[in-house]
Structure 1
Amino acid sequence: MNRDRKRVRHPAPQGRRSATGRRVVVAGGGIAGLAAATALAERGAAVELFEREPFLGGRVGGWTTTLPDGTSTGMSRGFHAFFRQYYNLRALLRRADPDLGVLSPVPDYPLVDAHGRTDSFEGLPRTPPWSALAFALRSPTFTARDLLRVDRGMALALLNVRVPGTYEELDHLDAQAFLDRVRFPPAARHLAFDVFSRSFFADPRQLSAAELAVMFHLYFLGSAEGLLFDVANEPFHRLWRPLEDHLTRHGGTVHTGTAVEAIEPGTRFRVHTGSHVAEADAVVLALDVRGLREVVAASPGLGNRDWRARIARLATAPPFLVRRLWLDRPVEATRPAFLATGGLPPLDNISVLNRFDHDAAGWARRSGGSVVELHAYAATGSAEETGRALLARLHELYPETRAATTVADRSEWRADCPLFPPGGFARRPGIETPVEGLVLAGDGIRVDLPVALMERAATTGLAAANRLLAGWGVTGHDLLSVPVRGRVPPLRLLAALRR
């Protein structure tokens, strides 16, 4: 879409046109690794990508599962929202799909709380601050009295986000403490903040207030792309194949089911992958938290003591559960494709997959049923307890499912997302490392731009490639972002006066 005239282009360093003759190993085939590998291969570097899973895409990857009726269908770690301000992720996908035909718009994603109060994003203005103001004015969870009670001085921090300044100002607070200081109405907090903070797979008490503020800027007050998003209409096991083909056409080599285990620095890097050793001029570590910690721990010559300690201290968020149900009857036609919830633990959202996923839609047509996915982020109980509670919430919110027979049931219980705790930003490792030719990428890696989740992964992957290309005197790839500070000048001035 790219309709925001205030989006910011971050020009890449300029230089020669080709990195021919350079060999690079990319460890990790998630979004960050694919972005780095693609950006390097497009500039002529010989790239080898290693991914420990048998599929690409990382946390947005997928595989197939066979249902009791013999159907082979896609399965994944859950629904993902492709917001229109995910500029760098979309640019990556466009390499192989210029029209982004793999994405379909969601007309709305209602937010409902325990009292049945529902907020909607449909029909709102696209441009801040009018988008957020219209959302608040029509929300059943805001009242004039609530708005008068808000601490306007603290609230201005949300209206004048600066990167990295907001981290310096708010990172010592947790998200819940910050919202307490703002005196944000509790009911509105469930819908306007908890839903988004939990998308980081963390309880608001474990999440940095700065991360919450930057996220609010990215989705609400920093972008004029609107508050709606797109979803993948292909199952994730097919989503990344065109990009893999694009990478291989540019000379890249992809090894799935093969993990990088250790790295020896030297005149050239020696990258150990079990029975194989690859030599390279540079290495991109685009791994999840556990994988990064393990590779660094197994590579004693890599980096200095301080850097290694920062890697070792990286933490993962609490576990989450995705439960996907193939039901023998449809849910009501009025149900949205995606429903977010607040104050209804452990449920965070419900997706009716057959409304947008081609595999799920085909199964629903043939069977007369439906495919429903339930998410629980930052789960506090066991997988079994959480799964039972999710089903009870589904029956509560969509009562027609009580009488449905479950044809198939698949669950994914994971605990591998990065945690962004209070006070963690200053020690978060960045893209550059103490080792020349070694760079990091991933959604847990620091980059001083207003990005999050999948967009942070894509951005750090491209930025990591740019860092290597700049070192070789080769032109990199421009990056895009929402504005790096609040977009309304009078509010920026007022916030500066209140600091």
Structure 2
Amino acid sequence: MKRRQFVTNVGLAALAGTTLGAAGLYAIQPRRSVLPFASADNDTLPLEPTEPTRVVVVGGGLAGMAATYELLKRGFDVTLVERSSNLGGRLTGWNVDVNGETMATEHGFHGFFNQYYNLNGLLAELGLRDNFKPVVDYPVIFRDPDKGTESFTNTTTLFPFNLLAVVGQAKSVSLLDFNNPTGKLYELMRYDPVRTFQDYDDVDFKTFCQRVNQPMVDTIIEPFAHTSFNQFDQYSTAEGIKFFHFFFLGNPDGMGYDQTIDDAMTSVITPMTQKLVELGGRVITGVEADRLVERNGRITGLVLKRPGDVLGKDHEVPAADIGSDWTAFWNGADLYYARREDDGSYRALSGRCTHMGCPVGLDAATGGFACPCHGAKYDPEGVPTAGPTVVPLVALEASAAADRVRLTSRPQPSDIELQADYFILACDVPGLKDIVSRSELSSTELVQGVEDLGVADPYIVWRIWFDRAIEPLAVPFYTTSGYRYTDSIAIYSQMQPAYEDWARRHQGSVIELHAYAVEPENVIDEAEIRRIMREELDELIPALKGANMVYDIYTMQQNFPRWAPGDYAGRPGVQTPVDNLFLAGDYLRLEVPANLMEAATMTGRMAANRVLVAEGLRENPIPTVDLVGPLTI
């Protein structure tokens, strides 16, 4: 920063402090808050039900695990159903064979921010906080050489000096950028759960940012907003304002965060799963929820099926279209593969991965199948050979009649139906939409609200093992700005002990690249995406230029929630019109400021509270950041 600009910044900061005064400063400070209870005498209510009460939770991510835990410790009979072989959702992991060595991998790097009060509280209650270590900085690498690398380490959490500190650390932003009376920058500091959505939910964030000083947009707003996994021109301004309020302007804890010491399964998911079982919970994995059963206005059961199975849907295809190699066929959202055997008969498989239901593609290298989402691979017979699943692709009946072949689901011995008093759907958006679409629910409001939910553009996670060591970087994680694909990089060979050991023994390094939201025009051939991202990595870490990849895991997924303009009004919340059915997940309508893993955990605890309220029991306190922005009057 130039000396004259620095002097100007210091002078304005001093003036701001003097003008506001101590009393004024105290009044506008963001504070940790607690959501109100449904009952004014909550503290006097009993803790546990007097009669056995059953709850079924669908979805084993943070939302489902949090809801399950809160209800188990209150004495409820809880069954948790997860279609994957492990719990964890986007935080889950699995083992891979790296040239003869077993190593743990996961869906991508996760930061556990200080203001994740519900998630961090849950981890502390389970005795898992020792499995984390703090990250000392939050740097952003800009492709623009004039900006270089900006550091956003906090020096204070006192508003507005926390914001002034960020501006002071940014080489290309000045306090003079705040001097824009006709602009919209200050709206980021005026979050209000009612007014903000009334005024700005229909406005896309790109349009809003045109009324904000460009240096602020380029240096601070845009790099951080990308971590919402939504494109600027498809992102609700109200959701964007809530995002910045939660992560910086409305919380008293700044931008500090922790990372897991080991992989997420070792540090978080496995011990959490063990605790749920110790408390008496039934954890059913490798089984998928098919549909809810409603009788007399209440949900009475949940029908289960094998992961990837298709129940009750027949599909006919011309026999001439089926050759001796696997051929893909779609029937609505259902994907099938069929081939003609040497004896003239036909064989068919469901094209849904048995890990989390993604559509699998043909693997040209092996003649089998590969899942683009989490790296699962299957041989030509549909038997898993790599990745997180251990369940084969589901076989279908293929019967020929005249010139047509009918593909049908093989009859199962019986439909398994779980019965309970309450049900919590805590799956991701695609999973929720599938279950509701197959259920005959009387609430058109709920059905329409779920149908209108969407997912954001795809995101990429690419972990690469290199044959070349690099000097340790200042921190193991960097956000980036200005690159076509790469939005962040994580250096696993200086992050987790197992990867540090691998790098030391092989004189190598392990890097993970992330693309948070890939625009439709950039969803091109995988080989070309890899080539471009590798060029971007060589630019970001020149020491790796020319290094050979000895192993890699490349995945493209599409399951983060869409926060599009106008979505808010129809978005479902935790409470549904069906009195014994609740939802949990980071995609729900929340007047409370929370995002990502904290939103998932918070809504899981909120759903558990709704069950407690329905039973006349004491609610658990739900902590949150300040409910309104520091400049809200």
Normalising by structure 2, what TM-score?
A: 0.73
Other structure's SS at 2:163 match: helix
C-alpha distance in 2 between matches for 1:166 and 1:202: 19
Is the counterpart of residue 78 in structure 1 residue 108 in structure 2? Answer: yes
Which of the numbers 320, 324, 327 marks the counterpart of 2:466? 327
Q: 1:312-335 CA distances to partner (integer Å, 9 max, x unpaired)?
A: 111110111100011122222235
Amino acid at match of 1:306: E
Matches within 5 A, 1:229-378: 229-238=257-266, 239-266=268-295, 269-274=300-305, 275-300=415-440, 302-378=441-517
Q: 1:250-306 CA distances to partner (integer Å, 9 max, x unpaired)?
A: 211111111111110236611111242111101000011111111001101x24122
Amino acid at match of 2:69: T
Shift of 1:168: 1.9
Contact 2:292 2:299 in 1 (8 A): no
What does residue 232 of structure 2 align with? 204
Shift of 1:362: 2.6
Is the counterpart of residue 9 in structure 1 residue 34 in structure 2? Answer: yes
Contact 2:132 2:260 in 1 (8 A): yes
- C-alpha spacing 1:421/1:151, structure 2 compared with 1 (3 Å): farther
Q: 1:423-474 CA distances to partner (integer Å, 9 max, x unpaired)?
A: 1111110111111110000000112211001110001000001001100011
Q: 1:376-433 CA distances to partner (integer Å, 9 max, x unpaired)?
A: 1211223433222211111011000013221211111101111000111111101111
Amino acid at match of 2:300: F
Amino acid at match of 1:48: T
Is the counterpart of residue 63 in structure 1 residue 63 in structure 2? Answer: no
Amino acid at match of 2:245: H
More helix by share: 1
Amino acid at match of 1:85: Q
Which of the numbers 213, 216, 223 marks the counterpart of 2:241? 213
Q: CA RMSD in A?
A: 1.8
Other structure's SS at 1:219 match: helix
C-alpha distance in 1 between matches for 2:158 and 2:442: 45
- C-alpha spacing 1:49/1:429, structure 2 compared with 1 (3 Å): same
Q: RCO greater where, 1 or 2, for CA within 8 Å and sep 6 or more?
A: 1
**Is the deviation greater in 450-459 or in 156-165?**
156-165
Other structure's SS at 1:265 match: strand
Other structure's SS at 1:449 match: coil
What does residue 189 of structure 2 align with? 159
Shift of 1:34: 0.5
C-alpha distance in 1 between matches for 2:230 and 2:527: 20
C-alpha distance in 1 between matches for 2:602 and 2:150: 31
**Is the deviation greater in 120-129 or in 305-314?**
120-129
Contact 1:128 1:222 in 2 (8 A): no
What does residue 416 of structure 1 align with? 559
Other structure's SS at 1:403 match: coil
Matches within 5 A, 1:10-89: 10-13=35-38, 14=42, 15-19=45-49, 21-68=52-99, 70-89=100-119
Q: 1:209-242 CA distances to partner (integer Å, 9 max, x unpaired)?
A: 1111111111121112121211112212222111
Amino acid at match of 1:264: V
Contact 1:12 1:479 in 2 (8 A): no
C-alpha distance in 2 between matches for 1:140 and 1:357: 32
Contact 2:464 2:552 in 1 (8 A): yes
Q: Which of structure 1's runs of 4+ aligned residues deviate more than 4 A?
A: none
Amino acid at match of 1:55: N
- C-alpha spacing 1:335/1:387, structure 2 compared with 1 (3 Å): farther
Is the counterpart of residue 459 in structure 1 residue 602 in structure 2? Answer: yes
Which of the numbers 132, 137, 143 marks the counterpart of 1:114? 143
Shift of 1:123: 4.8
Q: Which runs of 5+ in 2 are unaligned?
A: 1-28, 306-414
What does residue 371 of structure 2 align with? none
Amino acid at match of 2:119: L
C-alpha distance in 2 between matches for 1:9 and 1:359: 39
Amino acid at match of 2:473: T
C-alpha distance in 2 between matches for 1:124 and 1:384: 43
Contact 1:51 1:258 in 2 (8 A): yes
**Is the deviation greater in 218-227 or in 13-22?**
13-22
Amino acid at match of 1:200: S
C-alpha distance in 2 between matches for 1:432 and 1:141: 45
Shift of 1:165: 3.0
How many percent of aligned residue pairs carry the same amino acid? 33
What does residue 534 of structure 2 align with? 391
Q: 1:79-105 CA distances to partner (integer Å, 9 max, x unpaired)?
A: 11110000001112223225x112211
C-alpha distance in 2 between matches for 1:52 and 1:164: 37
Amino acid at match of 1:224: P
Q: 1:180-215 CA distances to partner (integer Å, 9 max, x unpaired)?
A: 123x21x44233122222212111111111111111
Other structure's SS at 2:433 match: helix
**Is the deviation greater in 137-146 or in 157-166?**
137-146
Amino acid at match of 1:26: V
C-alpha distance in 2 between matches for 1:109 and 1:206: 26
Contact 1:303 1:433 in 2 (8 A): no
C-alpha distance in 2 between matches for 1:211 and 1:151: 23
C-alpha distance in 1 between matches for 2:158 and 2:124: 25
Shift of 1:363: 1.8
What does residue 192 of structure 1 align with? 220
Contact 2:113 2:256 in 1 (8 A): yes
What does residue 496 of structure 1 align with? none
Amino acid at match of 2:110: H
Contact 2:155 2:162 in 1 (8 A): yes
What does residue 621 of structure 2 align with? 478
Contact 2:177 2:216 in 1 (8 A): no
C-alpha distance in 2 between matches for 1:201 and 1:151: 30
Other structure's SS at 1:485 match: coil
Is the counterpart of residue 138 in structure 1 residue 163 in structure 2? Answer: no
Contact 1:163 1:448 in 2 (8 A): yes
